[in-house]
A and B are shown apart, each in its own frame.
Chain A
């Protein structure tokens, strides 16, 4: 039997065991439910995380402005800066996810949009995580220098700076490796599959 023959019976009514026609009530229930696809979950999580950062920002700025102790003020300032970077990241992430969520358009364009979007998300997350690392080290340095009861000399600043630079360099590679593995676990399987489908569609057959 070939496809041509199957085509003749393909559009015939489904067997009696097929599900009944969709009722309006059933449809309303579906629409009211939260979709469980990956993009919807990512969007939901990004919104929650962004709201947390928005809520933290005034508290951290207040800390930086009003705290009586210098190191608390410096920490507040640095953490507020990190919160601002996070807010920028989540805005960008939501924008990307919005553009990826629209399934209209031809298959090739849709697959291209999904793969480009996922790649951009992965890159952004990776760079963001690695950028937080020196900021955290800087925060630790500020804390060490401002909480010491001894006199802060230029030599001491250099020693603490060098120690933190070594610490940062030592944890940089494991962090980069772990982040890569985590991102691959999170998105890699979807990305590989979507890219393979795009390649299959793009493959130009020999005449």
Chain B
């Protein structure tokens, strides 16, 4: 297989790079691990690209979410076992720094990030797709379960987060 990425792949990656970065942001707290995961997802996207067939009723983003989540959750990468240079606490605080549109204190946002970090990898997938504003129909397509199941599980994940925030 040639290692030269095609122009259409580069264009798609350019458009959707923020999406992949957000997946990595949710699954890895350590910046080095996050970069490793980003690299692995990009390599897997490139490998799968020749088999991607655009369909009128299927979005490219759905295909990208599937691969990015499959790689992040299956986590078959060989971890380097280096000590984590950034703690969950530091990273949550860094992510929680107020932006222009944020009406919340950084501490509140950091607490939510910490609560999300304590969820299982599968629950994080629900949170990610919810934060990405994906409709239940698309979430079901990405995760391979029914829409009803997505709805109920999403509700449970939100409950878990609320409980964690109350008991923090």
Residues in chain A within 8 A of chain B (CB atoms): 1-3, 5-12, 14-15, 17-19, 21-22, 24, 27-28, 30-32, 35-39, 41, 101-111, 114, 190, 193-194, 197, 200-202, 204-205, 207
Q: Are A3 and B153 in contact (CB under 8 A)?
A: no
Taking A3-B158, A11-B18, A17-B94 as known contacts, 19 extra A-B pairs with beta carbons closer than 8 A to each other, sorted by chain A number, are A2-B112, A2-B162, A3-B112, A9-B101, A19-B21, A37-B40, A37-B77, A38-B77, A38-B78, A102-B51, A103-B66, A103-B67, A104-B48, A104-B52, A104-B67, A105-B144, A197-B73, A201-B145, A204-B149
Tally the A-B contacts, defined by beta carbons under 8 Å: 154
A sample of 8 inter-chain contacts (CB < 8 A) reads A3-B112, A9-B101, A27-B42, A36-B78, A37-B77, A104-B51, A201-B145, A204-B149
In the docked arrangement, what's the CA distance between A149 and B120, Å?
Answer: 68
Q: Are B73 and A106 in contact (CB under 8 A)?
A: no
**Given A11-B132, A21-B17, A108-B144: A201 in contact with B122 (beta carbons within 8 A):** yes
In the docked arrangement, what's the CA distance between A123 and B78, Å?
Answer: 23
Contact with A along B105-130 (1 / 0, CB 8 A): 00011011000000011110101001
Q: Are B48 and A103 in contact (CB under 8 A)?
A: yes
Query: Is B84's CB within 8 Å of the partner chain A?
Result: no
Query: Is B136's CB within 8 Å of the partner chain A?
Result: no
List the A side residues contacting B71 at CB < 8 Å. 103
Q: Are A10 and B22 in contact (CB under 8 A)?
A: yes
List the A side residues contacting B100 at CB < 8 Å. 12
Residue of A nearest to B19 (CB): A11
Q: Are A2 and B42 in contact (CB under 8 A)?
A: no
Contact with A along B19-51 (1 / 0, CB 8 A): 001100100000000010011101110111001
Q: Is the interface of A mostly helix, strand, loop or mixed?
A: helix
In the docked arrangement, what's the CA distance between A109 and B143, Å?
Answer: 9
Partner of A28, one of B4, B21, B145: B4
In the docked arrangement, what's the CA distance between A15 and B31, Å?
Answer: 13
Partner of A107, one of B39, B125, B130: B125
List the B side residues contacting A18 at CB < 8 Å. 21
Partner of B131, one of A3, A22, A32, A205: A3
Q: Are A37 and B153 in contact (CB under 8 A)?
A: no
Distance in Å from the Cβ of A57 to the closest Cβ of chain B? 28
In the docked arrangement, what's the CA distance between A116 and B158, Å?
Answer: 31
In the docked arrangement, what's the CA distance between A197 and B123, Å?
Answer: 10
In the docked arrangement, what's the CA distance between A109 and B162, Å?
Answer: 30
**Given A6-B112, A21-B17, A197-B73: A106 in contact with B141 (beta carbons within 8 A):** yes
Query: Is B5's CB within 8 Å of the partner chain A?
Result: yes
Partner of A30, one of B42, B66, B94: B42
Top 5 A-B pairs, shortest CB-CB distance = A108-B144, A106-B144, A205-B152, A103-B70, A1-B108
**Given A15-B97, A38-B76, A109-B144: A6 in contact with B125 (beta carbons within 8 A):** no
